[in-house]
């Protein structure tokens, strides 16, 4: 016969505790994550420069990569600034 588990028998260290993060902690995590996307934009731009130097006949391809990397950088910079303004307004 199987034993029934009751809620009263659970030791206190096994209970799940949800902890709320402060606004500063949330911002730091968001900044670290979005920082990776900013690096991604920079890497795309660097790859475009590499293509332009490596194969001058494909100049348009390298320039397109640089523009795409710039767009990624601008979009995520705007996202970071807006999120920072939202957190500042909440304080």
Q: Tell me the mean pLDDT per 10 residues along the chain, length 91.
A: 58 68 77 81 91 88 92 85 69 61
Token representation of residue 14: 């096994």
- Please report the pLDDT score of residue 21 as a whole number: 74
Distance CA 6, CA 51 (A): 65
Yes or no: say if 43 and 68 are a contact pair by the CB < 8 Å rule.
Answer: no
Domains of the chain, by residue range, sit at 22-90
- Please report the pLDDT score of residue 82 as a whole number: 80
- Please report the pLDDT score of residue 76 as a whole number: 82
Give first-to-last CA distance, the chain, whole Å. Answer: 56
Distance CA 41, CA 16 (A): 39
- Please report the pLDDT score of residue 25 as a whole number: 80
- Please report the pLDDT score of residue 45 as a whole number: 92
């Amino acid at each position: 016969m199987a034993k029934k588990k009751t809620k009263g028998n659970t030791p206190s260290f096994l209970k799940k505790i949800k902890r709320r993060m402060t606004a500063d902690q949330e911002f730091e995590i968001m900044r670290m994550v979005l920082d990776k996307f900013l690096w991604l934009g920079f890497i795309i731009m660097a790859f475009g420069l590499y293509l332009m130097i490596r194969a001058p006949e494909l100049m348009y391809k390298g320039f397109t990569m640089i523009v795409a990397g710039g767009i990624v950088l601008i979009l995520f910079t705007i996202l970071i600034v807006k999120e920072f303004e939202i957190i500042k307004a909440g304080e």
